[in-house]
């Protein structure tokens, strides 16, 4: 007897799992089952059309011939989750056959060279490669919309059914951005939750995602994606500048960036000319006399404008709008490597023209996900100090020296890494641009990174804490520890450390309580 199962989508893993369990429990052998997906790409050409149009459950399964308990290795489930995303129409038949054999042929577990196992493993690897390539090679282009934030649209042609599986990655990476990815098979669009804190939060259907709406729609064509924008010219200039002819390894490049993706990558047009000049350029580099690195001259507003998604547009006169423009610009900042890995940039918040600006080091894990400064554990400690001092966060502006979260991956965990001096220096102009908008009377530097950024020289925080230092243009900066230093400190000395920290901060009490003026 033949059984036909029509799954509800190309990637219906839950459907496959429950049907496979049911069939297995009823001892239906793999050769008696035909698996179909709505695309109609049946792997079994001899199944009548009428049969293949049934939705699951399909042909009635005979009564169970005795209950069957089976346990499969966890690695098999991982394999299935990836293989169901493969474009091969025979994938579900293969997986069910493997499941059947795992249960009925104990020796299969010890035969890694078995043809079915090998084929499934290769399919899993192909899907993993496709997921990796999509994460690496999607390029968004902004589409201006009347009265709405720009929609960043990308065109991509995956080999497998991976769009749904990869969408959460893009949500986490570009949480604050409105974006859409178009592919021939389906499209996906992300609308972040409203920035207005009084608005009801939208829910992402997946509870592990930040608030917002993730929608899937029909496929599209390449012509639906917007053409190159001015920001792309900037990216190409940057790409040409960072191309190091002495490090050219064309085989490696082709492997990492296969030619089939080139038509989606603006930088691909530069590869041939840059490669052709590489030998000559590296020869000149070898012959040239050594040079010492140029001192970086910070030109905050010009750089911010250059990176703004609308090049040529000046920062708006209205400070609130200018801060919003800076936020958009930092999202695209790749002047150091941190930005490429963070979820989003985190800019300061607080009243425009606050009298006091508090500057931390960089956003942490929580801040990176939420997009606001000092909301994680260090922020909670800081809030406690604010409460004990009788201050209110509504009275001052809180920001960081570095605008993206730097971390190191340990397994799935993102562990905070202190930004290097180069990274802090690269980010300095963003902080200076914020300062230029807020124009505070005084600053509190929480920790060494903030102190150096504000004072303009390395500061020994433990030696100079509790002191007001003078920075450029007579800037007044109160130096103290970063709250995470207290979190890390010796528990036996915690009370004392807490009291000393409050004492440091209290020196800014007069300014902290001033209403934002001007």
Q: Name the residues that contact ligand URA, by CB under 6 A.
A: 360-364, 367, 373-374, 376, 378-379, 400, 482
3-state class of 444 per DSSP?
strand
CB 204 within 8 A of CB 369: no
Least separation, in Å, of the C-beta of 380 and ligand URA?
A: 10
Least separation, in Å, of the C-beta of 121 and ligand URA?
A: 42
- Residue 245, Cβ neighbours under 10 Å: how many? 16
Quick one: 322 exposed, middle or buried, by C-beta within 10 A (0-12, 13-18, 19+)?
Answer: buried
**Which residue lies nearer to ligand URA by CB, 120 or 378?**
378
Pick the closest to residue 366 from 358, 378, 351 (CA basis).
Answer: 378
Separation between Cα atoms, residue 284 and residue 279, nearest integer Å: 9
**Which residue lies nearer to ligand URA by CB, 142 or 447?**
447
Least separation, in Å, of the C-beta of 458 and ligand URA?
A: 18
Least separation, in Å, of the C-beta of 440 and ligand URA?
A: 17
Round the CA-based radius of gyration of the chain to a whole number and report it.
28
CB 439 within 8 A of CB 518: yes
Pick the closest to residue 235 from 258, 265, 257, 259 (CA basis).
Answer: 265
Least separation, in Å, of the C-beta of 300 and ligand URA?
A: 20
**Which residue lies nearer to ligand URA by CB, 150 or 348?**
348
Contacts of 460 (CB under 8 A, 6+ apart): none
Contacts of 12 (CB under 8 A, 6+ apart): 37, 84
Least separation, in Å, of the C-beta of 435 and ligand URA?
A: 16
Instruction: Calculate ∠ Cα 304-400-509, nearest 5°.
Output: 125
**Which residue lies nearer to ligand URA by CB, 181 or 431?**
431
Ranked by CB distance to ligand URA, the top (closest) residue is 360
**Which residue lies nearer to ligand URA by CB, 4 or 399?**
399
**Which residue lies nearer to ligand URA by CB, 140 or 391?**
391
Bridge partner list, 186:
218
Pick the closest to residue 261 from 157, 415, 341 (CA basis).
Answer: 157
Least separation, in Å, of the C-beta of 331 and ligand URA?
A: 17
């Amino acid at each position: 007897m033949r059984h036909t199962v029509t799954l509800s989508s190309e990637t219906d893993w839950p459907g496959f799992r429950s049907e496979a369990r049911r069939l297995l429990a009823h001892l239906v052998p793999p050769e008696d089952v035909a698996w179909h997906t709505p695309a109609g790409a049946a792997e079994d050409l001899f199944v009548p059309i009428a049969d293949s149009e049934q939705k699951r459950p399909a042909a009635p399964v005979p009564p169970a011939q005795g209950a069957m308990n089976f346990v499969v290795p966890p690695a098999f489930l991982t394999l299935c989750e990836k293989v169901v995303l493969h474009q091969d129409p025979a994938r579900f038949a293969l997986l069910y056959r493997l499941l059947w054999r795992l249960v009925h042929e104990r020796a299969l577990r010890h035969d890694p060279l078995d043809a079915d196992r090998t084929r499934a493993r290769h399919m899993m690897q192909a899907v993993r490669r496709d997921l990796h390539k999509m994460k690496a090679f999607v390029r968004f282009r902004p589409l201006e919309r009347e009265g709405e934030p720009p929609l960043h649209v990308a065109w991509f042609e995956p080999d497998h059914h991976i769009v749904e599986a990869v969408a959460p990655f893009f949500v986490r990476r570009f949480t604050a951005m409105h974006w859409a990815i178009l592919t021939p098979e389906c499209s996906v669009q992300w609308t972040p939750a409203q920035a207005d804190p009084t608005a009801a939060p939208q829910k992402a259907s997946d509870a592990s995602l930040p608030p917002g709406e993730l929608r899937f729609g029909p496929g599209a064509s390449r012509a639906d994606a917007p053409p190159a924008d001015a920001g792309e010219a900037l990216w190409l200039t940057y790409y040409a500048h960072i191309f190091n002819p002495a490090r050219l390894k064309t085989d490696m490049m082709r492997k990492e960036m296969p030619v089939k993706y080139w038509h989606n990558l603006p930088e691909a047009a530069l590869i041939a000319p840059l490669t052709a000049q590489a030998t000559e350029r590296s020869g000149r580099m070898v012959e040239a006399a050594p040079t010492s690195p140029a001192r970086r001259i910070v030109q905050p507003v010009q750089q911010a404008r250059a990176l703004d998604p609308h090049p040529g547009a000046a920062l708006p006169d209205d400070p609130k709008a200018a801060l919003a423009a800076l936020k958009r610009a930092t999202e695209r900042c790749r002047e150091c490597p941190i930005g490429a890995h963070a979820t989003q940039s985190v800019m300061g918040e607080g009243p425009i023209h606050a009298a006091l600006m508090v500057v931390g080091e960089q956003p942490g894990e929580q801040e990176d996900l939420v997009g606001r400064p000092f909301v994680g554990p260090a922020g909670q400690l800081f809030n406690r100090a604010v409460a004990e001092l009788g201050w209110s966060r509504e009275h001052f502006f809180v920001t960081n020296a570095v605008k993206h979260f730097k971390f190191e991956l340990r397994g799935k965990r993102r562990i905070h890494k202190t930004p290097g001096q180069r990274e802090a220096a690269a980010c300095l102009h963003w902080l200076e641009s914020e300062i230029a908008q807020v124009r505070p009377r005084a600053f509190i530097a929480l920790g060494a990174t903030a102190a150096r950024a504000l004072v303009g020289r390395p500061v020994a925080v433990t030696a100079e804490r509790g002191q007001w230092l003078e920075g450029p243009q007579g800037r007044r900066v109160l130096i103290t520890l970063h709250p995470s230093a207290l979190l890390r400190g010796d528990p036996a000395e915690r009370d004392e450390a807490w009291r000393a920290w409050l004492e440091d901060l209290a020196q800014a009490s007069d300014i902290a309580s001033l209403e934002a003026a001007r």
